Amino acid sequence: MARRRTARRQDHPAASDEGLGDSIQFARYATLVAARGARVILEVQDALHPLLSGIEGVSLCLPKTGGTLPVFDLHCPLSSLPLAFATRLETIPAAPAYVPPPPRARVEAWEARLGEHDKLRVGVVWSGNPAHGNDRNRSMRFATLCRILDVDARFISLQKDPRPEDAASLRERPEIVDLTAHLTDFVETAALISCLDLVISVDTSVAHLSGALGRPTWILLPNTPDYRWLLDRDDSPWYPSVRLFRQDERRDYASVLDRVREPLQARIDAFASCLRGEK
């Protein structure tokens, strides 16, 4: 909903109006608004404020609980900006990476926590916010993800606040590195993702973050996905580094993970070859 202010200068605030992933995806449009000559004020969820403050073209980034906005002339919800720019598939602003890279010191701290990089590092997220209206379709149980944990990779959990039954199962799988207690904000998550070779995630804000960082990202999608992922394609016009794995008519993630196994093994083999110095 637009806030009414007395117009005094050509400012254009863009406000988050949906989920965290939506804000990450559509924050790219702030750069386009600034290129049209506006002074852009970006209002986002508190959790995203440290991450999105450095988006190119943003003059001022404010957290939603940060108090009163300064005066402005125009307002547009972030998720309406694609319509405002008459976006088509061929005009989607799909930069390889558009969120600011995390500070080098944070990346180095994560490298130290993760230790030797002697195996392919794979970040995993298997469920989203249980309050999401389509959560029963987009999320999976941790037990289902276990179908791929027997390959020779180092799996790193990116799953914040796992559900009680998943948390218990996670504690029984020492092959998964769980350092999520250190993920205090999205900049920390970005720093961790920057240390990984691949992120495998269901449709959550972490998937959007990884794609916005330009990191190799495989997103696992339900049979009827959110509109942004389109249909009948395994790439995303929004994120050049993303590959999509979709449920078929069986509507289960077990079969999706079975299809993930072969390309995952290929990446593991390629990483091992690089370690051995092979071409």
Task: Give the tens place of pLDDT for each residue, 19-77.
Answer: 899 999 999 999 999 999 999 999 999 999 999 999 999 999 999 997 788 999 999 99
Cα distance between residue 36 and residue 78, in whole Å? 16
List Cβ neighbours of 77 (8 Å cut-off, separation of 6 or more).
14, 15, 16, 17
The mean predicted confidence, pLDDT, of the chain is 92
Q: Does one domain contain both 32 and 148?
A: no
The b-or-e profile of 147-168 (16+ CB within 10 A means b, else e) is ebeeeebbbbbbbeebeeebee
Whole-Å CA distances, 276 to 114, 121, 122, 192, 267 = 21, 17, 20, 25, 14
Asked if the structure places residue 100 within a domain, the reply is no
Q: For residue 58, what are the β-bridge partners?
A: 40
Q: Is residue 70 domain-shared with residue 195, that is, in the same domain?
A: no
> pLDDT value at position 12?
54
Provide the token pair at 137.
């379709």
pLDDT value of residue 3: 37
What's residue 14's pLDDT? 62
Q: What is the pLDDT of residue 11?
A: 57
**What pLDDT sits at residue 102?**
97
For 195-231, the pLDDT digits (tens) are 999 999 999 999 999 999 999 999 999 999 999 999 9
Let me know how long the chain is: 279
Whether pLDDT at 167 is above 60: yes
Please say whether the beta carbons of 103 and 191 come within 8 A. Answer: yes
CA proximity to 103, closest of 188, 36, 24, 160: 188
User: Does residue 73 fall inside a structural domain?
Assistant: yes
178 plus 230 within the same structural domain: yes
Please give the biggest Cα pair distance in the chain. Answer: 65
In a domain, 225, yes or no: yes
Same-domain check for residues 120 and 243: yes
pLDDT for 134 equals: 86
Give the domain CATH number at 209: 3.40.50.2000
Provide the residue range defining the domain that includes 124: 106-275
Query: φ and ψ at 137, to 5 degrees?
Result: -95, -35
Looking at residue 8, its pLDDT comes to 35
DSSP code for 85: T
**186 vs 132 pLDDT, higher one:** 186
Does some domain include residue 93?
A: no
Among 86, 118, 151, where does a domain finish? 86
176 strand-pairing partners = 155
Q: How crowded is residue 61: how many other Cβ atoms within 10 Å of its Cβ?
A: 22
Q: Is residue 261 located within the same domain as residue 228?
A: yes
User: How many domains would you assign to the chain?
Assistant: 2
Is residue 148 a contact partner of residue 261, using CB atoms and an 8 Å limit?
Answer: yes
pLDDT for res 175: 85
Q: 45: closest CA among 72, 73, 65?
A: 65
